[in-house]
Structures are given as structure tokens and as C-alpha cells.
Chain A
Amino acid sequence: LTDSSPVDLFGPDWWDKVLAAWNASGCRHSLGGFGLSSFRVSDMDVERIWVYWDAEGNASRESAGATDVPTFSASRRDWLDFIDGRFTATAGVLRRRLHLEGSFRQVLPYTKAFNNLARVARPFV
């Protein structure tokens, strides 16, 4: 797989590209210590993705993880709108365009960081 290889949107390879860009970005520290979380696309046949953020904010994709971790899910359209910056993570959860399973209190300190993640992912959609 190379940077120019076509990948399935929101699939494991797509996430690997996004996370590599995240780790190279200057804003990776904003997710430092967040730990394990997962992501789902509610209306696409793609697997659930687990991502681990270490203390420095470096992200790595896990093959599988616990189910009781903060999990974000949305439709394909809403994920694309979020990545496009049409709404923030907080507004998305408020308006039910992003669905969070788990405690928002745990996510609260990182809501702006997820907006950064959307910005990093933007070139890959």
C-alpha cells in the first residue's frame, strides 16, 4: 500500500493513512492520554475500528478492543460532513449527528482535538 493507493473509505487502510497523518501533525498532542476508542459507520459495510492514543497523542490502530470504550458512530454522510468541518464534535453529539456510546465527561476535554482529527482526515476523503 502506498500513499497513492486507492483505499476503501473508512476501512482499516483508510484509517491507517489518516492516523499516520495525525502522528505527523503538530496537533497530535491534543489527544494525548485519551486511550482506546472506537469508530463505526452505521450505514456502511465496514468493520468497527479501534484506535489507541498514547500519552503523547500518537495514534495506532488496534485489531480489536474492549466494547466499553468511547465509541463514535455516524452515517457515512454525517462522517463526511464532520470531516468537512460542517459541524464540530460537540455540536454533532448535541444534534445527534454523531452518536457517542460512553461518557461524554471522558470525551469533554478532547472535543476540540476531535475537530483537529477531522481536519487531518480531510485530504483523504
Chain B
Amino acid sequence: MTAQRIITPDLRGALRGNTMPCERDRRWTLSTEVTASDLKALLVELEGEEAVVPAFAASVEPAALPALPQLDKPDWLSGIPRPYSWRDIAPFSPSSAVYFMDGYSDARIRLRESEEEILLQFWDKNTSIAASAPTVFAAGQEEVDHFTAVPPPLQPLARFPENTPDRYKRTTTYHALQVISMNMKAKDSDARLLIGLPYAEKYPELFFRTDIFGIDRRDESAASYGVVQSLTEFNESGGHKSPYTNGFPARSFFAIYHLIETPIGALFNKKATQMELQPSTDGKLALKLPPLPFNYSLINGPIPLFSVDEPDGQPIADLLAAHHNDQAAATVPTRDAWPWHGPSLEAIEPAIASARRRGND
């Protein structure tokens, strides 16, 4: 760790006694008003962690660091709520990207007619999620499409999910997300959980039903969108925000359209299943992307589930609870998963066209 790396623009502004991060500039330079001993004292005061100091102090030339006039803790650093610290503040990745993870999901489902509850558990080694470049939310931003690197027949665009909770409609930075592929399998049965590509590949006549998935949302398919949004609302000098002004820590949620195959039938949802990131064991939300290890939980249940055999019929079950936990990044996706495997567009195009015609009738 070098002095240049630990003296972030935020900290430099803080050391000079600025009270707001908007005063900071973006040059990675050492303040000429700081001594190493002063910095050590300040870091101990801010963090209460002796462990970070020796590595830092050893990397600083004391002669290059003149005295600091005063060491009052700046208000904005004092205002970072627990459990976060200034070290959790970092910009988002500046470009769109695709992430791969090994996943686990569970779903507690109640069958309506028998009122029985069943628990399904699924695993995969190849969940893939596309993220847009960071952008700043503003009024009307829900209607804006953002590029996400997803293959056809998915559309390479993502937007704010429908029915996004109001707490996400804040003037700060976010990534729009789209689920590319989730192909999860149970270990004790033939049950599968399909989202994104595998759903579109196996059930194109349903996935592209605009009359089902386009009624309450501006979409033509059962594509699943999400968002990762900064928890901070810093301003640049002049009061404006760029996509890089804010970033981590961040909250996140998805609006998911899923197909659950079971030996008792295939079930799907019309109302999006909202899964929100839960705090990790240290009480923090996302400090990186993907925020491994993580846990998303259902926040808007129960979700009515319909039979694929009667998609226009009454729901036959309800999703009561659901979790999605990922512990590790996927190193090599399995051969039956994207990007090794993708749908044959030629094979499913007639079904897609049929589904869209049905939606237009």
C-alpha cells in the first residue's frame, strides 16, 4: 500500500478541513499540509484500527509531509453511518460488464387447492448477470434503456425494473442489470429454476407473450431486470453529479420472471418476484460487484404462480418465500450454460413470432 493509493481524493479533502465531499478534486496527490504522525493519529481516530497504520506509515516519507494545522474530524466522515466507514466508499465500475457466479436458490411454495407447502432447492455453477455502465438517476430515468451485453433472443437493453421501490428513485448512480442465464437444478428431484436464456429457449411461446408480460411493464418478454444503486449522494464541485461521483456502498434488487419446472408441473409468475440484497454478516450491503458472498430475499410475496399448461387460467400456487445466495464467482461455466451453450434462434423463432402475434391479437 503506497501513500498515493491510501490518500484518496475524499480523504485529502477531509484532511484539509473540508466539510463536504463536493469540495474535493480528483487528483491523486498527497496533501502538503500533512505529516506522517498526524496522518497516523487521524487514521487511528477515524478507524480505531491500529492494524492499518504500520503498513501506511512505513510507506510514507516523513520529510515530505509538513504539518497539518488542525485535525478535527470532518463532518461528512463523521456522518457515515455504522457499520460503514470511509474505506467502503468507492466508485462503480466505469463500463458495462458480465458477471458469473455459482448460485443457490430456494423457494417455498404453497399449492392453492391442497394448501400444502413445499420447499424446492436449486444449485447452479453458471448464473450470469449483465450490468450497464453506471448512470445517474433522474426524473424519467425509469423509461430509459441502458446497454447490457446480453445475447439474443434477449434484448441488449435493461431499464429500471417495474414497480421499483421508491427508495431506489434517488438522484445518485446506478447500474441497470439484466439476468442473462440462470439454469438451476435440484439435487433430489428433476426440478429446475429457469431465468433468462434457458427460460426463453425452452418456453419461447410463453417467454415472449407480450399480452402477459407487456401489460404492466414496457416490455415484450419475461426478461428479468435489476439495479445496483449507490447509497451515497455526493456532489462534485459545482453541485453536479457524474456517473462516477457515487458508487459503493450500494443497495440492489431484481424484478425476476422465472419458470419453475417440477414433477408436479411447470409454474411461472406474471407479477415480478422482487428479490432484494440483504446485509451481509457485517451488516453491510454491496461493497463490490458482484457483492459476493450475498443473499437476496423475496420482498413482495406471495407471488401467484400459474401453470404453463394453462397460462391464462387461475394461479395454482403461491411463492411464499425465496432466497438466492451466491458464495463464489464461477470460474468456468458448465457446458450446458451460456456462453458455451445458447438457444438456437432458428429453432425458436417460429414460437417467438407466434407468441408475439398472440399478444397483438
Contact = CB atoms under 8 A, between A and B. Distances in A.
Interface stretch (B31-39, B113-121, B231-239): B113-121
Interface string B256-267: 000000111100
Contacts of B113: 108-109, 111
B189 interface: yes
A111 B116 contact: yes
A93 B191 CA distance: 11
B190 interface: yes
Contacts of A96: 189-190, 263
A9 to B, nearest CB: 26
A108 B309 contact: no
B114 A111 contact: yes
Shortest 5 CB-CB contacts between residues of A and residues of B: A104-B264, A111-B114, A109-B113, A108-B113, A112-B114
Contact of B116 (A95, A100, A112): A112
DSSP class of A's interface residues: helix, strand, loop or mixed? Answer: helix
B188 A95 contact: yes
Contacts of B138: none
A93 B114 contact: no
Bin the interface of chain B by size: 10 to 19
Contacts of B128: none
B307 A105 contact: yes
A3 B303 CA distance: 50
Contacts of B265: 104-105
A103 B266 CA distance: 12
Contacts of A24: none
Contact of A108 (B114, B120, B188): B114
Given A105-B307, A105-B309, A108-B316, A94 B114 contact: no
Contacts of A42: none
